[in-house]
Amino acid sequence: MRKVTLGLVGGGTVGGGVYQAIKKNGALMGSRLGVQLTIAKIAVRKLKKARAVKMPASILTSNWRDVVDDPAIEVVVELMGGVKLAREVVRAALENGKSVVTANKALLAAHGEELFQIAGKYGVNLYYEASVAGGIPIIKVLREALIGNRISSIYGILNGTCNYILTRMSREPIEFNAVLKQAQELGYAEAEPSLDVDGFDAAHKTGILASLAYGFWVDQHDVHVEGIRGLSRLDIGFADQLGYVIKLLGVIKQDPEKPRRSGQGFQPIQASVYPALIPKSHVLANINGVFNAVFVRGDIVGDTLYCGHGAGQDATASAVLSDIGDAALDLKWETSNRIPPFVPHERSGAVRPMDEVVSRYYVRLNVMDKPGVFARISAILADAGIGISSIIQPEGHGGRVVPVILMIYDAANKRMGDALKTIAKLDAVKGKPVMIRVEQFDPNE
Nearest-angstrom CA–CA distance, 203 and 87: 19
- Outline where 38-136 has alpha helix (H): 65-68, 84-95, 105-121
Asked if residue 229 lies in contact with residue 190, where contact means CB atoms within 8 angstroms, the answer is: no
Closest CA to 309 of 282, 290, 327: 290
Instruction: Determine whether 415 is exposed, middle or buried from the number of CB atoms within 10 Å of its CB (0-12, 13-18, 19+).
Output: middle
Query: What is the sign, positive or negative, of the torsion defined by CA atoms of 19, 20, 22, 26?
Result: positive
| Side-chain-side CA neighbours of residue 264 (13 Å) | 9
- Residues known to be catalytic: 205
Give the start-end residues of each E strand in 44-98.
60-61, 75-78
Which residues, 6+ apart, have CB-to-CB distance to 355 below 8 Å? 412, 413, 414
- Cβ burial 75-87 (10 Å sphere, 16+ → b, else e): bbbbbbbeeeebb
Closest CA to 142 of 46, 50, 209: 209
Which residues, 6+ apart, have CB-to-CB distance to 60 below 8 Å? 11, 41, 42, 43, 44, 47
Nearest-angstrom CA–CA distance, 280 and 301: 24
- Outline where 263-372 has alpha helix (H): 313-332
